[in-house]
């Protein structure tokens, strides 16, 4: 009887492994396609997952040998009734139920729960690991959208872009640029950037904030710097630079009818990086 019980337990374990293996194959394929893990990481995670389920199986099993339930004494007047009473006391000790399979699936689901990427990871992915970025200020970093607005009032930095700028400067050489109408406008922009804390992270310095008096001047800055990415709100400049710059981001709520294949469109910098 002991050997029969042991054989039954082994068969149950084999069946559990088969069901788990089939389910794990599907979950692992989805998980690894999202996270691009190497072969050593695949082996380590698969081994850990199997260890978790086997440990769970071990603790679920009875801690000691089960005692065989005592045989009931049948009445002497009827052997058939005695046999019927005895049969009602014999209950299998190991039966695989749907709830057990569900618990095993829940273990795998919880283990392979997708990890939400950080903003830094999103920025790196969106910029395709670019190392130099040039960006217009008006309409992208600043609330104001024209040089005339800066000429008559203080510049205002969009608070929602500050964290994005910080992440960009961690791994990119960032240059900010703008067309201004006078020296006073330059000072107002620099003061606004400084008050917002843009220069405190160490990734961006005042020397990398460039000013010019014409739109062509900004285009010339970009050509000279040769960035991997340029961000602008002027579609004409975007179109002119498409042949020379690897990637560009056109910031506008209106999607243009035709753009080059290396030009992306977004209503804002925050929306492009999923922070809107």
pLDDT band at 91 (very low <50, low <70, confident <90, very high): very low
The one-character DSSP state at 254 is S
Residue 167: pLDDT over 80: yes
Q: Out of 52-61, 83-92, 112-121, 197-206, which region has the weakest mean confidence (pLDDT)? A: 83-92
Domain 119-272 coded CATH 3.40.50.1000: yes
Angle at which helices 98-111 and 39-60 pack, to 10 degrees? 150
The one-character DSSP state at 1 is -
Domain boundaries, the chain: 2-111, 119-272
Kindly give the residue spans of alpha helices, DSSP state H, lying in 61-182.
Answer: 79-87, 98-111, 119-126, 147-152, 162-171
Mean pLDDT across 163-173: 93
Per-residue pLDDT of 172-225, as tens digits, reads: 999 999 999 999 999 999 999 999 999 987 779 999 999 999 999 999 999 999
Is 254 in contact with 264 (CB distance < 8 Å)? no
Question: How far is 108 from 110, CA to CA, in rounded Å?
Answer: 5
């Amino acid at each position: 009887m002991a050997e029969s019980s042991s054989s039954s337990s082994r068969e149950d374990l084999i069946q559990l492994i088969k069901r788990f293996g089939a389910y794990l194959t599907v979950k692992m394929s989805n998980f690894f396609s999202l996270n691009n893990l190497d072969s050593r990481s695949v082996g380590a995670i698969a081994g850990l997952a199997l260890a978790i389920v086997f440990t769970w199986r071990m603790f679920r099993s009875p801690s000691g040998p089960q005692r065989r339930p005592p045989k009931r004494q049948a009445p002497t007047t009827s052997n058939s009734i005695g046999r019927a009473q005895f049969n009602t006391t014999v209950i299998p000790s190991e039966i695989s139920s749907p709830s057990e399979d569900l618990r095993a699936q829940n273990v795998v689901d919880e283990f392979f729960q997708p990890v939400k990427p950080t903003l830094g990871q999103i920025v790196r992915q969106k910029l395709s690991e670019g190392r130099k970025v040039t960006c217009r200020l008006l309409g992208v970093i600043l609330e104001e959208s024209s040089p005339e607005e800066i000429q008559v009032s203080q510049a205002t930095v969009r608070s929602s872009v500050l964290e994005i700028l910080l992440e960009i400067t961690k791994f990119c050489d960032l240059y900010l640029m703008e067309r201004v109408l006078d020296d006073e406008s330059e000072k107002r922009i620099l003061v606004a950037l400084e008050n917002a804390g843009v220069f405190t992270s160490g990734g961006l310095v005042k020397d990398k904030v460039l000013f010019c008096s014409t739109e062509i001047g900004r285009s010339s800055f970009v050509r000279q710097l040769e960035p991997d990415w340029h961000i602008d709100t002027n579609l004409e400049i975007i179109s002119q630079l498409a042949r020379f710059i690897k990637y560009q981001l056109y910031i506008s709520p209106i999607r243009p009818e035709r753009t080059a294949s290396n030009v992306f469109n977004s209503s804002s910098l925050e929306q492009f990086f999923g922070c809107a």
